[in-house]
Structure 1
Amino acid sequence: MGLQQTLQNVLTNPTFLAAWGAVVAASLAVLVWDLRTNNSELKSLMQFVWGFTVLYSGPFGLAGYWYSGRTQIDHDSLWRKGFRSVSHCYSGCGTGEVLGISMAIGLFAFKTTGTVILTFSLAYFFGYAMTVGPLMQEGVGLREALWDAFYSETASITVMEIVAIGTDIWLAGEAGMGDVLFWTGLVFSLTMGLLAAYPVNVALIRLGVKEGMMNPAKMGTEMGS
């Protein structure tokens, strides 16, 4: 049995699906509790980011939050900045991918090419919007914000979506919206995209292309001062 068939069997196994659903629900519950109890000072945007990261990737997203996103981290690092950065990108791109694939298959009945084009387009749109929106709220002009988003996010979004969309087509390219594999393949592919784009974000921060998201520990210090 090949890798593709093995993954398809796992992703359609009722026992696995029930266990994964329980783990994701528990991970979201822990995240919400910690954000409200210990990290309410995090900006609403980052709370949104972590919520979608855990929703899409369950315990892997929660582990990333615990490692890099809490005010209680003992020190910041390039790898922590990289995970905050890729999660920020992930929340927007993931939303675009879910909407793109669902609309392409369920609404427009697109074939593979049309699905890829629409999904990539919405992933870029939402991914850029996650950068443009906050910049404009800080007073940056639209033109400058759009250029900053294009310059800093394009590589990350491109790698994330090539891996995610490619994985989804490989696993569930023949599945319809009524098939379990359509949804589980989508969720699995999102996490693969996250993992692929993580080292890209680390490299972009290292090279100075991206600044990386603010150290959450400084928020905790500022709130306590």
Structure 2
Amino acid sequence: MNHGAAPASLTKLAVSATLHCLTGCAIGEVLGMVIGTALGWSNLATILLAIALAFLFGYSLTIRPVLKSGLPLKAAIGVALAADTVSIAVMEIVDNAVMLLVPGAMEAGVASWLFWVSLAFALAVAFVVTVPVNRWLISRGKGHAVVHQYHGGHAHEGHHDHH
């Protein structure tokens, strides 16, 4: 990847990075909401569980391809933390804020269409807000730009190719 990347490709990379993050966030968010709601937990407990799981799955999805590039686990975790922390945090703040703002969404329960529509809407809003954040991070060589250099086996014997 050249560092003089055109804005369009930078945006494409940011969208791809955000979708990647969104997948992990969505899995964790849905699991957390389902478990918390099913167990009759308070909104706060449910949201905290959803956020914890969102980070767990978000990081896991980033770590996998980095590990496949041959990087040791400790280094891969470092890369994932550097790449995804801001992205996941922004996504989770927006996502959970929307869930709390939609009347009755948190109380609706997992059998209700209101819950699922609200969650899908919340994740969509979070996605739209997070793309520019990721684009900014990537443009500064942070965020998923860090992970990008490990994709496709570009990292060999501890030295990195910068395309």
Normalising by structure 2, we get a TM-score of: 0.80
Q: Which amino acid aligns with 1:92?
A: G
Equivalent residue for 1:209, pick from 142, 146, 154: 142
Aligned counterparts, 1:189-200, within 5 A: 189-200=122-133
Task: Indicate the SS of the match to 1:114.
Answer: helix
Q: Which amino acid aligns with 1:98?
A: V
Moved over 6 A (4+): none
Task: Give the paired residue count.
Answer: 139
Equivalent residue for 1:163, pick from 80, 94, 97: 94
1:94 aligns with 2:2: no
Q: What is the CA distance between 1:177 and its match in structure 2? A: 2.2
Q: What is the CA distance between 1:180 and its match in structure 2? A: 1.8
What does residue 120 of structure 2 align with? 187
Cα deviation, 1:153-211, whole Å, max 9, x if unaligned, reads: 10000000110111012211221223221111111111011111110100110110131
Decide whether the 8 Å contact of 1:84 with 1:213 is kept in 2: no
- Take 2:111 and 2:20, find their aligned partners in 1: how far apart are those partners? 30
Greater share of helix residues, 1 or 2? 1
What does residue 41 of structure 2 align with? 110
Larger Rg: 1
Decide whether the 8 Å contact of 1:81 with 1:213 is kept in 2: no
Normalising by structure 1, we get a TM-score of: 0.59
What does residue 54 of structure 2 align with? 123
Q: What runs of 5+ residues in structure 1 fail to find an aligned partner? A: 1-74, 215-225
- The structure-2 alpha-carbon separation of the partners of 1:138 and 1:213, relative to structure 1 and needing over 3 Å to count, comes to closer
Q: What is the CA distance between 1:85 and its match in structure 2? A: 1.0
What is the percentage of aligned positions where both structures have the same residue? 35
